[in-house]
């Protein structure tokens, strides 16, 4: 911060950056010079004068004679600065804090061989990964975890607020991560439930992306959906695929059934845009209230102008006791 005696405090840019707590005093500043002019006029008309005649050739004007106005000028400036100080120049530093209770979300992503189908270019899995990352970016203070599955599930990431780390994990997803073939919907749901069943949060959500029926695992998807409902979890299912490839047909029945049991909703994604719209819809349905707390920290700078006013006032008194003072008028 600049020193109080710096010319910085008198620049237009600095003065315009202030918030004034008592701006009324600023409107009084233009009246100060006029008050002194009126005062000098009244005093000049009432003071006794001694008429002395000087020949015109003996009367010389000098700049030194103008120095008698210096004490009065310093006094005017001092009063002006006192009014500036009374107006209380301030700067406000505002901070905003966003608070949300947040929700817990588990993403369950099918990475079986059928998800490599290219009916949704570049592939079903590729589009699902891209849209899932965009969904994560749109959340606020939610804890998000991820389970990937094929013939068996694998917990890729526990519930976390570190979205950058989670997106890095998503980038590394590939069907070769799980060697067991098939689609274990029930086991994948069971792992998601296990991750959240002992957590006390306002809302718990499971989002399951797959393109097929349950063909592996030892846990019935219907039973898993019933367990999710019992633990207060909402289940959204998304069937990914357009059925353009005859060998990789999408089976909606199981996904539709478990979404109904899990108090959620079933969606069908036939292309990248529809999948993105589905995630937007889920984002809208699972929106939590965000509270904003704003704090305003005020800092006063009146003391800089008050110090200048005191200095100029003392200089005015000092000059009045020198040859600059007009003793005859005082």
Q: How far apart are CA 216 and CA 104, in angstroms?
A: 27
Does residue 237 contact residue 226 with C-beta atoms inside 8 Å?
no
- Over the stretch 145-168, which tens digit does the pLDDT of each residue have? 999 999 999 999 999 999 999 999
Distance separating alpha carbons of residues 315 and 275, to the nearest angstrom: 77
Q: Which tens digits make up the pLDDT trace of 57-116? A: 555 556 666 677 788 889 889 999 999 999 999 987 766 665 666 789 999 999 999 899
- pTM equals 0.61
């Amino acid at each position: 911060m600049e020193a109080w005696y710096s010319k910085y405090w008198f620049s237009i840019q600095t003065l315009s950056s202030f918030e004034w707590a008592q701006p009324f005093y600023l409107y009084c500043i233009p009246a100060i010079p006029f008050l002194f002019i009126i005062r000098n006029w009244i005093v000049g008309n009432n003071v006794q004068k001694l008429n002395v005649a000087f020949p015109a050739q003996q009367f010389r004007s000098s700049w030194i004679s103008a120095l008698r106005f210096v004490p009065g000028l310093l006094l005017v400036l001092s009063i002006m600065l006192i009014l500036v100080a009374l107006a209380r120049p301030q700067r406000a530093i505002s901070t905003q804090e966003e608070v949300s209770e947040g929700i817990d979300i588990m993403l369950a992503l099918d990475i079986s061989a059928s998800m490599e189908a290219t009916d949704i270019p570049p592939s079903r899995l590729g589009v699902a990964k891209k849209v899932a990352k965009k969904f994560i970016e749109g959340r606020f203070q939610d804890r998000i975890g991820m389970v990937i599955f094929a013939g068996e599930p694998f917990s890729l990431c526990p519930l976390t607020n570190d979205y950058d780390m989670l997106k890095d994990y998503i980038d590394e997803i590939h069907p070769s991560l799980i060697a067991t073939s098939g689609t274990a919907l029930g086991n994948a749901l069971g792992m998601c439930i296990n991750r959240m069943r002992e957590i006390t949060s306002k809302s718990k959500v499971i989002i399951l992306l797959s393109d097929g029926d349950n063909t592996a695992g030892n846990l019935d998807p219907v039973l898993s959906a019933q367990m999710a409902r019992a633990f207060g979890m909402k289940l959204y299912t998304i069937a990914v695929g357009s059925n353009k490839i005859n060998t990789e047909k999408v089976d909606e029945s199981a996904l539709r059934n478990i979404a109904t049991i899990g108090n959620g909703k079933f969606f069908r994604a036939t292309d990248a845009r529809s999948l993105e719209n589905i995630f937007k819809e889920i984002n809208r349905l699972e929106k939590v209230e965000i509270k904003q707390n704003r704090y305003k920290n005020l800092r006063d700078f009146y003391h800089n102008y008050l110090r200048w006013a005191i200095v100029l006032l003392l200089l005015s008194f000092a000059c009045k006791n020198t040859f600059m003072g007009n003793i005859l008028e005082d």
